[in-house]
Amino acid sequence: MKRSVLLLAGLLALFLGSCGPAPETDPDTPNAAADRPNIVFIYLDDLGYGDVGAYGATALATPNMDALAEGGRRFTNGYASSATCTPSRYALLTGVYPWRNQDAKILPGTAPLIIDTARMTVPRMLRQRGYHTAVVGKWHLGLGRGNVDWNGPVSPGPNEVGFDHSYILAATQDRVPTVYLENGHVVGLDPNDPIEVSYSENFPGEPTGKDNPELTTMKWHHGHNNSIVNGIPRIGFMKGGAAARWSDVDMADHFLAEAQAYVRERDDEPFFLYYALQQPHVPRTPHPRFVGKSGMGPRGDAIVEADWAIGEFVKTLKEEGLLENTLIVLSSDNGPVLNDGYYDQAVELVGDHQPAGPLRGGKYSLYEAGTRVPFITYWPGRIEPGVSDALVSQLDLLPSLASLVGAATPSVDGQDLLPTFLGESDRGREQLVLEATSRTALRSGEWLMIPPYSGPPVQRQVNIELGNAPDYQLYNLTEDIGQQNNLAATHPEKLKELVRDFAKIRGV
Ligand code: NG6
Ligand code: CA
C-alpha cells in the first residue's frame, strides 16, 4: 500500500517536473541518485594533528592510520568543532555549533543527556534511510535526565538519539562510573553490589587518591584524586559494582572486539558505526603488549595501540567483504595534551615528537592545535587518493552524508560538502567558528581572528597556550601556520571584516 502510494507520488512528481515537493523517501526504495555504503566514524580522543605519520610524525609509527590517509583523502584543514570532547561530539552527531548549546561543555559522569531526543542526528538520519546504527566506545554526551540510577535502565542515551545499538563508556576513562553500558544497562552488574556515583562527596570509608596515595599505581598531578579504580585515581566518587568495573588495560581490545562483532553480525542492510576510541586520553593504559613500543611512554604507546586496533578493525571489514562498500571517516575530537592530570611521563619522554605538528597551542586552546585535527575520508574504489586543503569541519558530515544517502538536507550549521569529502572537488567552506572552552574565534578563508579574552594566556597545569590576549589577534594561516605574527595592527581592514562576520554568525 505504502509502496503504491509512493509510486503514484513519484509518477506525479515526474509529470510536475521539479515544481512540487519531493516525495518522502522510503528506506526500502533505493533512490537512484543515492548511494548507501556502510559508514564508519573512527574517532580518537585527544589525538593531535602531528600524532599521525601521514601528518608528519616520524618518531611515532601509525601505519594503519597512514594507510587510510594514503588510500583516501587527507584533509590538511579539517577541524573538530571544539578544543574539548563533549562539544565536539555534540557537533559531530548533530551538525550544530556546540556554542549554541550551553550544556555542551566537558561533562561529569552524572550529567544528563545534552542532545534533544527530537533532534536530527547522523544515526537518526541514516536510520531513516534504512541503516542499522551503532556506537561503540566513548560517549561523553550525558545520560538520563539527572539523578541516574545506574542499577536500572539508563535512559535517555544513545539509543534515544538514533542508535539501534550502543556499547559505551559513559563519560571519559578518567571519570566514574568506570563501567560499560550496553543499550542502557551496566554490563556485568551484580544486583547484590549496586553502584552509587557522586561528583560532590565521597562515600564513607571509600579510599581516594587524595587520602590514600599508597593505594595508587598511577599518580595524579592535578584533579584526578577521587575514587581509586584499578589503582588509578579518578574524577568523581563511586562505590560498588565491583564485578562490572572495566579493566583499563583491556579497554582497547574490548571495544575493538565489540566493533568487530557488530560488523560481523551485519546482514544485507547498510550500517553506520561510530567507533569512538578512548586513546590517547588520560589515563593512558596501553595493554602490556604495547608497553614500551613507542619509546614515548604511555601516551605514545596508547597511540600505537589505537593504530593497531584501527588496523584490526579495517582487516575485519575486509574479511567480511565489506571494505569496498564502506566509507570510513577518521578524525579526533580535539587536539593534543601531554600532562592532562597524571604523572605518566608524557612530557619527559616526548623527545622531538610534536603532537601538534606545526600548529600552536593544544587541547583547550583557541589556537589551531586545539581544533585542527587529522581528518581522513577513505572509500576504496570510490575516493581517489589525494590531499585536500579545503576547509572542512566535522559539522559538515551530517548534511554531506544526508546528501550521499539521498536524505533531506537538515537545517544545521554544517554544510553539504559531499563532493569534497569524496575527493571530487576541493571546494571547502568559506568560514568556520572555532570553539575552545566556551570561547570562540573565526576562520575565514586563510585568515583566523581571535577576539580579546581576559583569561590567562597559558593554562599552567597542562602547559598549553589558550589563545587569550587583551587585544585582537589576526593570523594568515597560509603564510603563518604557527600563528607567530599577529597582523591585527597592520591589516585593520581585514580585521574589521572578520570582526563583522564573526558578530553576524555569533549573533552578538
Ligand atoms: C578536564 C580534566 C582532564 C580531562 C578533560 C576532559 C582535570 C583537572 N582535568 O577537566 O583530565 O578529563 O577534563 O577531556 O580534571 S575531554 O577530552 O573529554 O574533553
Ligand atoms: Ca578529547
Ligand nearest, relative to CA of residue 335: 2
pLDDT value for 8: 40
What is the position in ligand 1's atom list of the atom closest to the CA of 85?
A: 19
Ligand nearest, relative to CA of residue 277: 2
pLDDT above 90 for 470: yes
Burial class (CB in 10 A: 0-12, 13-18, 19+), 155: middle
Phi, psi of 390 (to 5 degrees): -60, 145
pLDDT above 60 for 20: no
The percentage of residues in the chain with a pLDDT greater than 70, rounded to a whole number, is 93
- Give the residue from 255, 245, 234 showing the smallest Cα distance to 342: 234
Q: Closest residue (by CA) to atom 12 of ligand 1?
A: 174
pLDDT value for 343: 98
- Give the residue from 252, 215, 214 showing the smallest Cα distance to 230: 215
pLDDT above 70 for 23: no
Report the pLDDT averaged over residues 116-132.
Answer: 98
What is the position in ligand 1's atom list of the atom closest to the CA of 222?
A: 8
Ligand nearest, relative to CA of residue 364: 1
Q: Closest residue (by CA) to atom 11 of ligand 1?
A: 340
Q: What is the pLDDT of residues 182-192, one digit of tens each?
A: 999 999 999 99
pLDDT: is 353 or 2 the higher one? 353
pLDDT above 60 for 260: yes
| Distance (Å, whole) CA 152 – CA 282 | 28
pLDDT value for 119: 98
For ligand 1, whether the C-beta of 2 sits within 6 Å is: no
Report the pLDDT averaged over residues 105-124.
Answer: 98
Give the model's confidence band at 395: pLDDT under 50 very low, under 70 low, under 90 confident, else very high. very high
For ligand 1, whether the C-beta of 341 sits within 6 Å is: yes
Q: What is the pLDDT of residues 265-276, one digit of tens each?
A: 999 999 999 999
Residues 6+ apart with CB under 8 A from 202: 208, 226, 227, 237
Side-chain half-sphere CA neighbours of 21 within 13 A: 5
Ligand 1 geometric centre to CA of 340 (Å): 7
Q: What is the pTM of this model?
A: 0.94
CA distances from 474 to 128, 134, 186, 382, 496 (A): 43, 41, 48, 39, 10
Give the model's confidence band at 35: pLDDT under 50 very low, under 70 low, under 90 confident, else very high. confident
What is the position in ligand 1's atom list of the atom closest to the CA of 342?
A: 11
Residue 304 and residue 294 in contact, taking contact as beta carbons nearer than 8 Å: yes
Class of domain 38-195+240-429: alpha beta
For ligand 1, whether the C-beta of 85 sits within 6 Å is: yes
Report the pLDDT averaged over residues 79-86.
Answer: 98
Ligand 2 geometric centre to CA of 12 (Å): 50
- Rounded to 5, what percent of the chain is helix, strand, coil? 25, 20, 55
Ligand nearest, relative to CA of residue 341: 1
Average pLDDT over the chain, rounded to whole? Answer: 94
Report the pLDDT averaged over residues 229-242.
Answer: 98
Q: Is the ipTM of this complex over 0.95?
A: yes
435-506 folds as Arylsulfatase, C-terminal domain (3.30.1120)
pLDDT value for 5: 39
Q: Closest residue (by CA) to atom 16 of ligand 1?
A: 85
Q: Closest residue (by CA) to atom 5 of ligand 1?
A: 106
What is the position in ligand 1's atom list of the atom closest to the CA of 340?
A: 11
pLDDT above 80 for 65: yes
Q: Which residues surround ligand 2, an ion (CB under 5 A)?
A: 45-46, 85, 333-334
Start and end residues for every CATH 3.30.1120.10 domain found in the chain: 435-506
Side-chain half-sphere CA neighbours of 156 within 13 A: 12
Q: Which of 105, 106, 107, 140 to mutate to test the pocket of ligand 1 (most atoms within 8 A of CB)?
A: 106
Start and end residues for every CATH 3.40.720.10 domain found in the chain: 38-195+240-429
pLDDT value for 34: 64
DSSP 297: -
Give the model's confidence band at 84: pLDDT under 50 very low, under 70 low, under 90 confident, else very high. very high
Strands 38-44 and 232-233: unpaired
Report the pLDDT averaged over residues 72-98.
Answer: 98
Q: Which of 340, 364, 438 to mutate to test the pocket of ligand 1 (most atoms within 8 A of CB)?
A: 340
pLDDT above 90 for 3: no
Q: Which of 235, 331, 463 to mutate to test the pocket of ligand 1 (most atoms within 8 A of CB)?
A: 235
| 263, three cell numbers | 560488523
For ligand 1, whether the C-beta of 292 sits within 6 Å is: no
Ligand nearest, relative to CA of residue 221: 1
For ligand 1, whether the C-beta of 344 sits within 6 Å is: no
Q: What is the pLDDT of residues 243-259, one digit of tens each?
A: 999 999 999 999 999 99
Report the pLDDT averaged over residues 81-99.
Answer: 98
Give the model's confidence band at 508: pLDDT under 50 very low, under 70 low, under 90 confident, else very high. confident
For ligand 1, whether the C-beta of 282 sits within 6 Å is: yes
pLDDT above 60 for 15: no
For ligand 1, whether the C-beta of 140 sits within 6 Å is: yes
- Give the residue from 464, 468, 485 showing the smallest Cα distance to 476: 485
Report the pLDDT averaged over residues 342-359.
Answer: 98
| 404, three cell numbers | 550521499
Residue 125 three-state SS: helix
Ligand 1 geometric centre to CA of 192 (Å): 32
CA distances from 425 to 85, 329, 375, 387, 440 (A): 29, 17, 16, 11, 28
Beta-strand ranges (E) seen in 154-294 are 165-169, 180-182, 185-186, 196-198, 219-220, 228-229, 232-233, 237-239, 271-276
For ligand 1, whether the C-beta of 108 sits within 6 Å is: no
Q: Which of 43, 82, 85 to mutate to test the pocket of ligand 1 (most atoms within 8 A of CB)?
A: 85
Ligand nearest, relative to CA of residue 334: 2
Report the pLDDT averaged over residues 110-120.
Answer: 98
Q: What is the pLDDT of residues 197-228, one digit of tens each?
A: 999 999 999 999 999 999 999 999 999 999 99
